[in-house]
Structure 1
Amino acid sequence: MMKYLLSFLFLYLSSFSAQAQNVTFHGSKHYNIKVNQFNKEGSLPANAIIMLGDSHSEYGENWNRFFPNAKKIINRGIIGDDSRGILKRLNQILPYKPSKIFFECGANDLSHGWSVERTFQGIVNIIETIRRQVPQTKLYVQSLLPLNERVGVWRLLKGKEDMIIQLNNRLKSYCNSQAIPFVDLYTPLLGSHPKAMRAEYCRDGLHLTDKGYEVWANTIRPFINE
């Protein structure tokens, strides 16, 4: 009898894991590759800390190097991802009830030509889904990062510095009204110009250098440790 019960339990857990990992949304080639990679990696460790977002998170690579004494930090960033793609792959994360999620999103939504309002609503949809499905998980909403067009110009984001500021303000107000920690990454990365990332933090006009990631890590360190 015990043998049959153990077999049933194994099949049930296997079915749960497969269902949790299934992502029906198809994005870019890189998105699909990463989703399949995450699927093969299987379940997440208990009480993991998740870095969830787009290229900014993915290019951070092994976030544990900044926090050697923290619990396991899992990188779930995907280059080019937007609020649609992130929403569709939450089932690769939420069933495992991570202890913390550090979430950033929005640059790619704006690069698609979406308005600040549409981008904001897409991000809020993700936030509300996380809070509804895993209320015990501590969620930290991180701001969008500044650009630096003197270092490099991202054509689809050119001239959208004010939209980034507007979106950050919307997100900050929303998080304050919902008692969600809002992490300002924008201000610490600024240089002397009020709307431009400091040059030494920016490698191509959008993405961070190693020094930029050190600033990011130091900004979230109090939240990692709390």
Structure 2
Amino acid sequence: MQKVLMAPFRRLINSQKEARRSQFELLAPAPGGVLFLGDSITEQGNWNEWFPDRKTLNRGIGGDTVGGVLDRLESAINDPDLVSLLIGTNDLGGGGRVQDIAGQMERLVAQVTALAPRTLLLINSVMPRKPNFADRVLALNEHYRRIALSAGAEYVDLWPVLADHQGGLRTECTNDGLHLRGLGYRAWVNTLGPYLALDTPVQNSTEEEAK
């Protein structure tokens, strides 16, 4: 019965994924700026408003996985100044093995650095969700930490600002135990801020001429 009830929801998610993915294939990203890459948690972020002084590009797709991002990576990257990558929670939710997800993530990070070798890459830790996922999330994040170190990327640890004492997503940060609401995004943005400061914003020609 549950499978029958979930079928229309899966069709809706797949339709929304295809709508965004197919548009991204036709819309080549401009170079520079901050590329936000990930799943629905990234997609739902109002990045241009959280970071009004930065040129931002939202390439989040709801329901996406590590493999999904890897498959569409070439349509997302065009020499950005910085990439914020948050991906993996849907892999865990789909029953993926931590070791397998980490292996795919290693390939994804290698491809990002190959396509954009001068770009600063931020690997965000997988965010906490329901407490029963805590052990697997923490195990995967330890892999992510090592992958970031090996690749010369920055590991952004979101666990301290988002996890409650049971290892779940803090109630004030979520409505469903998985996705963020405003306070959750603010916690993430505040954590990202110092990392974005490591990179110099790209100024447009009007700003340069004004100087």
- Structure 2 length normalisation: TM-score? 0.83
Structure 2: which 5+ residue stretches go unaligned?
Answer: 1-12, 199-211
What is the match of residue 172 of structure 2? 200
Cα distance between partner residues in 1 of 2:94 and 2:171: 25
Answer yes or no: is 1:69 the counterpart of 2:59. Answer: no
Structure 1: which 5+ residue stretches go unaligned?
Answer: 1-26, 150-158
Cα distance between partner residues in 2 of 1:146 and 1:127: 21
What is the match of residue 211 of structure 1? 183
Cα distance between partner residues in 1 of 2:105 and 2:17: 18
Contact 1:148 1:198 in 2 (8 A): no
What is the match of residue 55 of structure 1? 40
Larger radius of gyration: 1
Spell out, residue by residue over 1:30-80, the C-alpha distance to the aligned partner (whole angstroms, 9 max, x if none): 22110122234x2222312110001110111x201111112x111111110
Structure 1 residue 128, shift from structure 2 partner: 0.4
Structure 1 residue 194, shift from structure 2 partner: 4.3
| Residue of structure 2 aligned with 1:182, choices 133, 136, 155 | 155
Cα distance between partner residues in 2 of 1:175 and 1:44: 25
Contact 1:148 1:202 in 2 (8 A): no
SS of corresponding position for 1:28: helix
Spell out, residue by residue over 1:133-170, the C-alpha distance to the aligned partner (whole angstroms, 9 max, x if none): 21111111000001146xxxxxxxxx222100100011
- Identity, % of aligned pairs? 31
Q: How does 1:80-119 map to 2 (within 5 A)?
A: 80-94=63-77, 96-119=78-101
Structure 1 residue 109, shift from structure 2 partner: 0.8
The residue type paired with residue 15 of structure 2 is K
What is the match of residue 14 of structure 2? 28
| Residue of structure 2 aligned with 1:137, choices 100, 114, 119 | 119
What is the match of residue 44 of structure 1? 29
SS of corresponding position for 2:153: coil
- Structure 1 length normalisation: TM-score? 0.78
Compared CA separation, residues 200 and 29, structure 1 to 2 (3 A): same
Superposed CA RMSD:
1.6
Contact 1:148 1:199 in 2 (8 A): no
What is the match of residue 106 of structure 2? 124
The residue type paired with residue 174 of structure 1 is I
What is the match of residue 4 of structure 1? none
Contact 2:82 2:120 in 1 (8 A): yes
Cα distance between partner residues in 2 of 1:165 and 1:39: 34
